[in-house]
Amino acid sequence: MNLIDTPGFHMFSHEARTAMQVAEATLIVVQAQAGVEAVTERVWRWAEEFNLPRIVVLNRMDELRERGIDDVAKLLEELRGRWGRSCVPVQLPVYDEQGFTGVVDLVTMQAFLYGDGSGRGRIAEIPRPLQAQARAAHEALVELVAEGKDALLEEFFEVGTIPEQHLITALHEAIREDRIFPVLFASGQGAVGADHLLDFLKVYAPTAAERMACAASAISEATVETGVEASTQTGTQTGTETVGVHAGTDAGSGVGNGFAGHSGEQAAARAGVVMRAVRDEEPLALFVYKTLHDPFAGRISYFKVISGVVRNDATVENYSRGGQERLSHLSVMQGRRAVEVAALHAGDLGAVARLRETLNGDTLGQRGAALRVEPVHLPEPSMTYAIEPATRADEDKLAPAMHKLMEEDRMLRFFRDAQTQEFLVAGAGQQHIEAMVARLRRRYHTEVTLKAPKVPYRETIRARAEAQGRHKKQSGGHGQFGDCHIRLEPLERGAGIQFSSEIFGGSIPRQYVPAVEKGIVETAQSGHLAGYPVVDFKATVYDGSYHDVDSNELSFKIAARMAFRQAMEQARPCLLEPIMRVEVEAPEEYAGALMSDMNTRRGHVLGMTPRGRAVAIEADVPMAEMLQYGATLTSLTQGRGSFHMELRSYDVVPAAVAERILATARRPVAAE
């Protein structure tokens, strides 16, 4: 059995989504005092998307010691309110004068009591105060399990119950088929219920053999050989944890799984999709879902065996990138410790070190049976910071270290802004990026500082203008002469720069027209008002003159620069700012505060969509107002909100804001 533990804090929830792609069930851990949070709803929806059984664990039950069973009833009612009556307890918590001390198994009708701190439950009779409640809960569980199964319903009505062994089998099937979402209770600090939870998973969680076949894209052998990818990839820290539960299969067993989150019928309907059963007899295929860099072992690739059997020292094809990889020292992971194995079977999870080219999301396997498992889609990063190395030595180490971190975390981005010339790092939020900086310092001894990035403003024109540029220079011998008349016209947003020529009669020779265009484009890149690129205009050269001896390309390029600057003075130039399409998700009680905050940021709220007990607020907000939004959102929602944003368009900066920007900027002409 493999447990894939993922963070509960919302800025790292993408790790849970990635883990779900290779798990057979999800263990959704909810803090008892906080109840269902916004991130809980998110991971529940993801589990639905992947068709994964959901098992809910209410953890930290020791914190309810003063209120005990009354609060438990409220928690269960909240779960049913969110996810329906199929969310049913299979245990009851036991409270006494010492607090949370055990659980009652509603299937076997036995109590498991803890008290010595060892984490091992002692089987006992159900405490007398809980006996009536346990019987009622047992009957409710039996009735729910029997629903939809005619044979069980007949047995239930004839006998009044279902025998224990029949109930175990039926509950296992109901969990596998998503008809029941069992609720269990635990205390990590008190080591209460952990052993019983593992026993529950062993009996009731489905194995890879019981899930549906893997849906993958068929790719040609030629694609593999050339290395061309078959498709394009596109506050408080007490949030919900998600644990992917994966149970391996015995050799030779298995009829398939729900690896890709599609049912067999849905997948078969997709063009170019092959269904690969999770069986040892099928061709070998591996999917790499996680990469870690170890200072001693190097790059460690975590993978799932989709089909077939992989043996130590096997040579496989990388279907995603081309080339071959040798799988030396196959291992299964016990935390950070690797335990070497001779072979891994269909459905197993394993790890291998020092693969040359393989990265997250790659599919590997035997030659002649190529397929491609699509990696899970992750949202784009929602926050960007400028990153500056502290010293020259740190600058040399930064890029290699960042590329290793990006191999581990697909939500990280590292790039240089062509306009501002800053190195930028993007991630899911402030804490996500700060955690990356901490890893840079700890692992790679690279010191950096973070600061808010420069906003990539642009400039444009709002009126038509004409101007002449005349460059004449005589210094003995050949001189320089260029003369051109240009016209600037505003275009719609996003149109970029367009250039045309209306020269007739040879007033400017044809070979000099490209020099005029180049002069205009280069000057537009350096800006007019504040040094930001000028965009969304059409420039037309319609007249000019030349000299047979002194004219050349440089002369007309300089003349075009002069004409462009003069025309900009008359064309009513203005600043443009990037407008972001922002989606904020948070519990509904924070909606009013969030919309009010959006309005103070010059945002335009587009709408609000309910999502269970949470709401999604969509708005258009200037990027300049969103640079530090992550910290504000955490404060407003007590860490229960999340957001993402993407560029929608550019729009004119209001006059008052533009004055503040221009007051601190130097005009490009003056700088020259």
pLDDT (tens digit per residue) in 259-293: 444 344 444 444 467 788 888 999 999 999 999 99
Domain definitions of the chain by residue range:
54-204, 214-372, 385-451, 459-571, 576-660
- Which position has the token pair 């008052």? 656
16-32: average pLDDT = 91
Confidence of residue 232 (pLDDT cuts 50, 70, 90): very low
Please determine, for residue 490, whether its predicted confidence score (pLDDT) is greater than 60.
yes
Of 214, 204, 314, 303, residue with least CA distance to 254: 214
Q: What is the reported pLDDT for 607?
A: 93
Structure tokens at 217: 């894209």
The pLDDT of residue 573 is above 50: yes
The pLDDT of residue 537 is above 90: yes
CA angle 353, 357, 359 (to 5 degrees): 75
Token pair, residue 521, equals: 């484009």
Tell me, what's the pLDDT at 254?
33
For 403, phi then psi, to 5°, come to -65, -35
Assign domain 385-451 to its CATH architecture: 2-Layer Sandwich (3.30)
How, if at all, do strands 181-185 and 54-59 pair? parallel
More confident position, 48 or 63: 48
- Asked whether the beta carbons of 323 and 356 are under 8 A apart, the reply is yes
Residue with tokens 């071959």: 324
What's residue 238's pLDDT? 37
Q: Which helix (H) or strand (E) holds 440?
A: helix 430-444
Sign, CA torsion 257/262/263/266: negative
Phi and psi of 430, rounded to 5°? -60, -45
**129-158: average pLDDT:** 85
State both tokens at 457: 């403003």
The HSE-up count of residue 367 (CA atoms within 13 Å, CB side) is 9
The CATH T-level fold of domain 576-660 is Alpha-Beta Plaits (3.30.70)
Residues 6+ apart with CB under 8 A from 519: 556, 557, 558, 559, 560, 561, 564
CA distances from 442 to 295, 413, 435, 436, 516 (A): 11, 19, 10, 10, 53
Residue 386 near residue 452 (C-beta atoms within 8 A): yes
Read off the tokens for 542: 């319609």
pLDDT of 129 higher than 80: yes
Cβ(282)–Cβ(276) below 8 Å = yes
Give the residue-averaged pLDDT of 119-130.
Answer: 90
Q: Give the list of residues 6+ apart from residue 571 with CB closer than 8 angstroms, or none.
A: 461, 462, 463, 464, 465, 488, 490, 537
Residues 98-122 have a mean pLDDT of: 89
d(CA 656, CA 478): 50
To the question of domain 54-204 being in CATH 2.30.30.830, the answer is no
> Per-residue DSSP letters for 595-625?
HHHHHHTT-EEEEEEEETTEEEEEEEEEGGG
Render pLDDT for 511-521 as a digit per residue (tens, 0 to 9).
999 999 999 99
Under 8 Å between Cβ of 357 and 321 = yes
Q: Is the pLDDT of residue 477 over 90?
A: no
297 vs 192, residue with greater confidence:
192
User: Roughly how many angstroms between the first and final C-alpha of the chain, as a whole number?
Assistant: 68
Q: What's the confidence (pLDDT) of residue 22?
A: 92
Dihedral over Cα of 204, 110, 145, 41: its sign? negative
The fold adopted by the segment(s) 459-571 is: Ribosomal Protein S5; domain 2 (3.30.230)
Which pTM does this prediction carry?
A: 0.72
Distance CA(322)–CA(223), nearest Å, equals: 8
Q: Residue 241: which pLDDT band, with cuts at 50, 70 and 90?
A: low
Nearest C-alpha neighbor of 484 from the set 503, 468, 499: 468
**Per-residue pLDDT tens for 460-473?**
999 999 999 999 98
Does the pLDDT of residue 256 top 90, yes or no? no
Distance CA 286, CA 305 (A): 5
CB 106 within 8 A of CB 144: no
Write down the pLDDT at residue 470. Answer: 93
Cα-based distances in Å from 333 to 162, 205, 351, 571: 40, 20, 7, 66
How far are the Cα atoms of 90, 172, 288, 538, 644 from residue 585, in angstroms, in the given order?
31, 34, 30, 41, 9
* Most confident of the following: 198-202, 242-246, 635-639: 198-202
Q: Rounded to whole angstroms, how far apart are CA atoms 208 and 1?
A: 11
d(CA 101, CA 31): 17
CA 448 – CA 83 distance, rounded (Å)? 45
Give the Cα separation of 558 and 472 in Å (integer).
10
Query: Two tokens at 364?
Result: 């590997």
| String of DSSP letters for 265-297 | HHHHHSTTEEEE-S-TTSPPEEEEEEEEEETTT
pLDDT tens column, 26-60: 999 998 887 887 788 888 988 998 899 999 999 99
pLDDT of residue 620: 95
Give the C-alpha separation, 524 to 387, whole Å: 28
Q: Which two three-digit tokens encode residue 29?
A: 């851990």
- Report pLDDT for 218: 66
Query: What is the percent of the chain with per-residue pLDDT over 90, rounded to a whole number?
Result: 47
Q: What is the pLDDT of residues 303-313, one digit of tens each?
A: 999 999 999 99
Neighbour tally for 463: CB within 10 Å = 11
The overall average pLDDT reported for the chain is 85
Tokens read off for 371: 């397929």
What is the per-residue pLDDT for 549? 84
Nearest in space to 632 (alpha carbons), one of 586, 669, 597, 660: 597
- What is the mean predicted confidence (pLDDT) over 169-191? 92
Q: Give the strands of the sheet with 87-89, arranged side by side.
A: 2-6, 241-246, 25-31, 54-59, 181-185, 87-89
Q: What share of the chain is helix, strand, coil (3-state, %, to 5)?
A: 30, 30, 35
243 burial class (0-12, 13-18, 19+ CB within 10 angstroms)?
A: buried
- H or E segment to which residue 587 belongs: strand 573-587
Classify 320 as helix, strand or coil.
coil
φ/ψ (deg, to 5) at 310: -105, 130
Helix (H) or strand (E) holding 198: helix 194-204
d(CA 51, CA 233): 22
- The CATH number for 214-372, chosen from 3.30.450.20, 3.40.50.740, 2.40.30.10, 3.90.1150.10, is 2.40.30.10
Is residue 564 scored above 50 in pLDDT?
A: yes
- β-strands 87-89, 181-185: how paired? parallel
pLDDT at 226: 44
List pLDDT tens digits, range 324-363: 999 999 999 988 889 999 999 999 999 999 998 899 889 9
Q: Residue 529: what residue type?
A: L
Q: What phi and psi values does residue 637 have, to the nearest 5 degrees?
A: -110, 10
Q: Tell me, yes or no, if the two domains 214-372 and 576-660 fold the same way.
A: no
